Amino acid sequence: MNRVLISGGSRGIGAALVRAFAKNGDAVAFLYRENDTAANAVASETGAAAIRCDVSCPDAVRVAVKKAETALGGAVTVLVNNAGVSHIGLSRDLSDAEWRRVIDTNLSGAFYLCREAQGAMIAAKNGRIINIGSMWGKTGASCEVAYSASKAGLRGLTMALAKELGPSGITVNCVEPGLIDTEMNAALDADTREALIEETPLCRIGSPSDVAAAVLFFASDAASFITGQILGVDGGFAV
């Protein structure tokens, strides 16, 4: 049985991850920023522990990892860095605060969690870290400069940590979703959404469970010799 910590588990892809790991028989704790109602619903449905924590705050992350260890009955063995925010707009209009919000959540938050969780994994000589990137981190998205930069940063973080932590028995991989049906895309207008689907070779929007399946694979015994890899779950969009 894994002890799994997932950031951003209250909604969307993260909630699907909580459900999938819980169904797998793993002990699961998840972090969320502010949506108590959604977090409590996922927790009561799955039996997972919900912990309120803004991942962009390193002190809050330290406390949250300790709380997760208590809730899980031991150190985290699988960490999934999924919490993320997006911002759409011209780069010339992007404020310092918006730039920092996106980078601090998507990239720094993942780093803070990796830093806190790795000590126990190194001691156990066993661990799995899975980062949720985005196809925009590979291709870049117009009018999403901070988001694309944060997700490209996760590629570097994944590969560097895979090399650093491999000798300690820890694998580090990244899943890059394409267009997935969650609230994150609620701001997309119908034409943009249709255009993205048309550009997707598999001709559909993805579901959170499509992403969960890839994450569960990286956490499984079948993936024990795979590290530093970046797997697109995007219907072929970024090929």
Q: Which residues sit at the interface with ligand NAP, rule CB under 6 A?
A: 7-14, 31-35, 38, 53-56, 82-85, 105-106, 109, 132, 134, 177, 179-180, 182-185
- Counted residue by residue, the chain has a size of 239
- Min dist. Cβ of residue 213 to ligand NAP (A): 14
DSSP 158-201: HHHHHHHHGGGTEEEEEEEE-SBSSGGGTTS-HHHHHHHHHHST
At closest approach, how far in Å is the CB of 225 from ligand NAP? 26
> What residues are paired with 177 via a beta bridge?
233
Q: Which is nearer to ligand NAP, 165 or 233 (CB)?
A: 233
Say which residue the tokens 């797997």 belong to.
231
Comparing CB distances to ligand NAP, the nearer of 3 and 138 is 138
SS3 77: coil
User: Is residue 56 a contact partner of residue 89, using CB atoms and an 8 Å limit?
Assistant: no
Q: Name which of 45 and 183 has its Cβ closer to ligand NAP.
A: 183
Q: In whole angstroms, how close is the CB of 177 to ligand NAP at the nearest point?
A: 4
Q: Which of these is catalytic: 30, 111, 112, 147?
A: 147
Residue 112 is a catalytic residue:
no
| In the block, residue with structure tokens 């998840």 | 30
Catalytic residue numbers, as ranges? 147
